[in-house]
Structure 1
Amino acid sequence: MTIKRKLQLVFAGALITALGSTLTIWSSDAEAAVNRYTIQANSPKPEACKNHGTVPAGTWLQNKVCGYFVGTALAGTAFDVHETAQSDYHYGHNYGGNNLCAWVPPGALSGSPTGKADESCSAETKERIGHRRSFGSDFNARAHEAEDGSAVSVDPACSGGAYLNYYDSSDYNSGSLRDPAGTPAAQVQYRYTTNGSNPAVVVRDSNLGWVFMDRDCVTDWRGVKFHNDND
C-alpha cells in the first residue's frame, strides 16, 4: 500500500469518526427536545380568560387555552414545555402526582429552564383533550355556553373536603382525590363530573377556587341539568 493510499484511509477514518460524533450529539439533542421548567407558587390566574388573582398552591392545569380546569400543577413540580401559544399559555407535561399533559396559564413557570427532557406530550393528545368529553361528563351547561358552575349544596366534611387533583395520566379516564385543598363552603358551583369508576366533581368554591370533591358529597343538585354534548 502506498503512503498516499494510507493517508487517504487515515483521513477517511478521521472524517467518519468526526461525523459519528456529530450525529451522536445531534441524536442526543433530538431526544432531549423540550425545555423543563419549575411551577411557581402564587401563579397568576389568566387575565385574558377573565380571571383575577393567583393560585397559591401553584397554577391551574387546563384542557386548552382558557379551557376547563383539570387539576393543579403544584409549586415545585416540573413542567416540560412542548408548545407555547400566542397567548403565552404553555402545553406540556406536568410531573409530581399528576404525570399528565395539559396547558398552564402565562406566568406559571420559572424564568429559566432547569434542564432538557424528552418529548412526552403528542399533538394527538393535545387534540383529544381539547374536547371536553375526553375527560368528563354531566356538564352544567352546553358547550361554549358557560364559564362558571351552577350552585349545588355539598357536605363540607364529606370525604375529607376538597382536593386540588384527581387525574393521574393523560388518558383522563380515571384518578383519585389527592392533595387536600381545605374545607369548602356548603354551597359550591358545580361544573362537571370526572371520568372514572369512582368519579369526582369539579366545583368552584368561593374561597378555595376550582377543586375536586367526591360526587357523593353533593347533597342537593338544585335542579342542575346535565349536558353531555362535546365541543
Structure 2
Amino acid sequence: MHFPTLLLLLIPTVQAINEYTTIANVPKPGACGNSGTLPGGGWIANKACGYVMGTAVAGQRFDVEKTSSAGFHFGRYRGTGGNFCTWILPSSLNLNTGVSVGSSCSDATASAMCDRNHFGKDFDSPPHQGDGAITVPLSLVGCPGFYNYFVDSNFLSGAFQDPVPFNMATTTGGGYRYTTRDGQASMVRATVAEYGQVIWFFVPRSCIAAQLPGGLNNDGGDGC
C-alpha cells in the first residue's frame, strides 16, 4: 500500500528556472572596465568579467540559474549550434520572454569553468594578466570570423557557428587571446570599422598560426 509513496520519494526534484530570449545591442560591462555596445548580442564568458567564450547572438535562448549582484547571469546558452553552461552579460536578455524550464547547470560546473584550462589553452599571458590588452598582435585580413565555437559544457571540441556579419578586411588592431582545447579555433579581438567597437570572435587557428609566437602560456589556477 505504501510502495507508490516510496517511489515518489525516490524521484529527484528538478528546480524550475526561467529561460529568456537573447537580444542585440547589449551594453559592454562597465563593471569590467568596458564601454560601448555589442550589436550582435552579449558576450558569454567563463565568469563575470572573465574570458570571452563567444557571443549570445540575438534571438537565441538562455536559462538563468543565478544572477550576481552586478547583474551577470549564469546558466545555459541555447544557441545556433551550441548548448552549454556559461555566464552572460547584464542586459543581454529580454526579460518579457521568460518561460519556466528545468535547472540544468550546477554550481560544480560554474566552479570548473573558473579554471581557464577547462576550456582553452595557449593563452597570450599568465592568469590575471593581460585583461584583454593586445600582447600578441595579429592581422586578421583573409580569415573567416565566427561569433561562436563551443557546443557543450565539456568544451573539448566544437564547430564554427554564427559567421560575423562585418567585413574582416576592414578590421584593425587585431589581437590574440587563446585557443580552444582541440586546437581548431582561436579567440581574437579587433576593432570593427562598421561598428567603431572592439569585438571578440573566433577564427580558425590555422589562419593565424604563422603569426603566433612560441611559448604561449598554459598556467592554470585562474580562479573565480
Structure 2 unaligned residues grouped into runs of 5+: 193-197
Correspondence 1:61 to 2:51: no
TM-score w.r.t. the length of structure 2 is 0.83
Q: Go from structure 1 to structure 2 and tell me whether the alpha carbon gap of 1:222 and 1:58 turns closer, same or farther (over 3 Å shift).
A: closer
Please say which structure displays the higher CA radius of gyration.
1
TM-score w.r.t. the length of structure 1 is 0.81
Per residue, is there more strand in 1 or in 2? 2
Aligned counterpart, 1:124 = 108
Q: Go from structure 1 to structure 2 and tell me whether the alpha carbon gap of 1:60 and 1:156 turns closer, same or farther (over 3 Å shift).
A: same
- 2:64 counterpart SS class: strand
Per-residue deviation at 1:219?
Answer: 5.7
Q: Which of 125, 140, 143 is residue 124 of structure 2 equivalent to?
A: 140
Aligned counterpart, 1:226 = 216
Q: Which of 190, 201, 209 is residue 176 of structure 2 equivalent to?
A: 190
- Asked whether the 8 Å contact 1:140–1:224 carries over to 2, the reply is no
- 2:95 counterpart SS class: coil
- Asked whether the 8 Å contact 1:155–1:219 carries over to 2, the reply is no
Q: CA RMSD in A?
A: 2.4
For residues 173-212 of structure 1, what are the structure 2 equivalents within 5 Å? Answer: 173-181=156-164, 182-184=166-168, 185=171, 188-196=174-182, 199-207=184-192, 209-212=199-202
Q: Go from structure 1 to structure 2 and tell me whether the alpha carbon gap of 1:32 and 1:200 turns closer, same or farther (over 3 Å shift).
A: same
Structure 1 unaligned residues grouped into runs of 5+: 1-19
Q: Go from structure 1 to structure 2 and tell me whether the alpha carbon gap of 1:219 and 1:102 turns closer, same or farther (over 3 Å shift).
A: closer
Per-residue deviation at 1:87?
Answer: 1.1
Structure 1 window deviating more from structure 2 (107-116 vs 91-100): it is 107-116
Aligned counterpart, 1:85 = 68
- Asked whether the 8 Å contact 2:16–2:102 carries over to 1, the reply is yes
Per residue, is there more helix in 1 or in 2? 1
In the alignment of these two chains, the number of paired residues is 205
Aligned counterpart, 2:206 = 216
Q: Tell me how far apart the structure 2 counterparts of residues 155 and 183 of structure 1 sit (CA, whole Å).
A: 11
Correspondence 1:74 to 2:41: no
Structure 1 window deviating more from structure 2 (203-212 vs 62-71): it is 203-212
- 2:141 counterpart SS class: coil
Q: Tell me how far apart the structure 2 counterparts of residues 190 and 225 of structure 1 sit (CA, whole Å).
A: 14
Q: Tell me how far apart the structure 2 counterparts of residues 40 and 52 of structure 1 sit (CA, whole Å).
A: 18
- Asked whether the 8 Å contact 1:58–1:108 carries over to 2, the reply is yes
- Asked whether the 8 Å contact 1:79–1:94 carries over to 2, the reply is yes
- Asked whether the 8 Å contact 2:20–2:63 carries over to 1, the reply is yes
Q: Tell me how far apart the structure 1 counterparts of residues 142 and 92 of structure 2 sit (CA, whole Å).
A: 31
For residues 23-38 of structure 1, what are the structure 2 equivalents within 5 Å? Answer: 31=14, 33-38=16-21
Q: Tell me how far apart the structure 1 counterparts of residues 199 and 163 of structure 2 sit (CA, whole Å).
A: 13
